[in-house]
Structure 1
């Protein structure tokens, strides 16, 4: 299931959502080389979030193989550079593949513009970054030994999705179900189903038998970001913007 649009118009141009998308894509092209192996590897290794570096529990010098670039073998090496403390934020703007950035961009656009419309631009940006950092900390709590770098906006976008669930649970979301179906579901159904799938996918990681090095998806970052979004949504909500949205919505009902 892939959400592609919602029946939830905004009152203001989602400037901050668009800005985040522009920055994310600029980083993809100009820092990560649009997925070219060498700049992609450098950016992920140097700017990706590595739980073991933050916790100090991954051995310094430990290498994580990334494959080959020409006749060179690439690996990320655990270090203790000062920039590591910024990676919970920096990694939000990095991605690992075309599919990764396209999927995240779609989710951010579908759910982010309306959340921004109810928070305001400044609050939305703080909320986005904060839930992204909380998502990284959730991943750190589950796997503090991991030397594997993680990148992507998924944790922050999960926070946006959690806020959307609180703010617009009954809005219809147009959802693509491969291969050909496009169905409108209420947002609560789409988001709770997505959240449940993340929890189920993450349960094996809680087992002590699954502590080996893994390069899989950091699903507990998604869970942590989503829960943070649910809990913080009302705190970041701008009551005046919400009042305006409700007034416009009520007026449409009266004149329809």
Structure 2
């Protein structure tokens, strides 16, 4: 299933989502000369920094942050930006700009760590916003599970499904791909880790909202 449109109504224009998209596009344009993919997040460097903290730790953190905005090729970039646009706008509207950028970056960091824990001795650089975007999708799963997603089911079918159905399908594909070792150069565990991080954050935000709503009702009595 390929998602084409999210039917969640927008209460206000998004700010962070288009800025992230433009930033990733700009970085892709210049990265061939100034920011080669070899500067991405390397799991072995994370493992080394974990046991030998120091300047290497700072360099590793910087490479992790930079990797969120770098992409290996045009297909990688376009697919990530499409998912960011589809799910990011709705989640940003739900959270607000500041909370959205915070959760986006945190999910991205957790996704990199998840991949490093799976392959701690790997020297293959990890680049791409997919882990952070997976976190956004996890948040969408919790906060907007029944919004409708128009999906294309090749070759000719177009159907609208609840968001939770599509996202469960997407997560299953990631987990199955990680389990059978397909496309070993794809950081499947970054996708899985980011999505689970988004789920946990979404649940915690929903619990906090429920508690605040309960306190407001108590004060109104």
Superposition TM-score, scaled by structure 1 size? 0.74
The secondary structure found in structure 2 opposite 1:5 is strand
Count of residue pairs brought into register by the alignment: 204
Structure 2 counterpart of 1:190, from 166, 171, 188 = 166
Where does 1:36-75 land on structure 2 (aligned, <5 Å)?
39=33, 43-46=36-39, 48-56=40-48
CA distance in 2, matches of 1:50, 1:104: 20
CA distance in 2, matches of 1:217, 1:227: 18
Q: CA deviation at 1:193?
A: 0.7
Q: CA deviation at 1:85?
A: 2.5
**1:148 touches 1:215 (CA, 8 Å); kept in 2?**
no
Higher strand share: 1
Q: What residue number does 1:71 align with?
A: none
Q: CA deviation at 1:234?
A: 4.2
Where does 1:121-160 land on structure 2 (aligned, <5 Å)?
121-160=97-136
Superposition TM-score, scaled by structure 2 size? 0.85
Q: What residue number does 2:12 align with?
A: 12
Structure 2 counterpart of 1:97, from 50, 53, 73 = 73
CA distance in 2, matches of 1:159, 1:175: 20
The secondary structure found in structure 1 opposite 2:68 is helix
CA distance in 1, matches of 2:140, 2:134: 10
CA distance in 1, matches of 2:10, 2:65: 27
Where does 1:196-235 land on structure 2 (aligned, <5 Å)?
196-204=172-180, 216-235=185-204
Structure 1 counterpart of 2:153, from 169, 174, 177 = 177
Q: What residue number does 1:27 align with?
A: 27
Q: CA deviation at 1:170?
A: 1.1
Q: CA deviation at 1:86?
A: 1.5
Tell me, which stretches of 5 or more residues in structure 1 are unaligned? 34-38, 58-79, 244-256
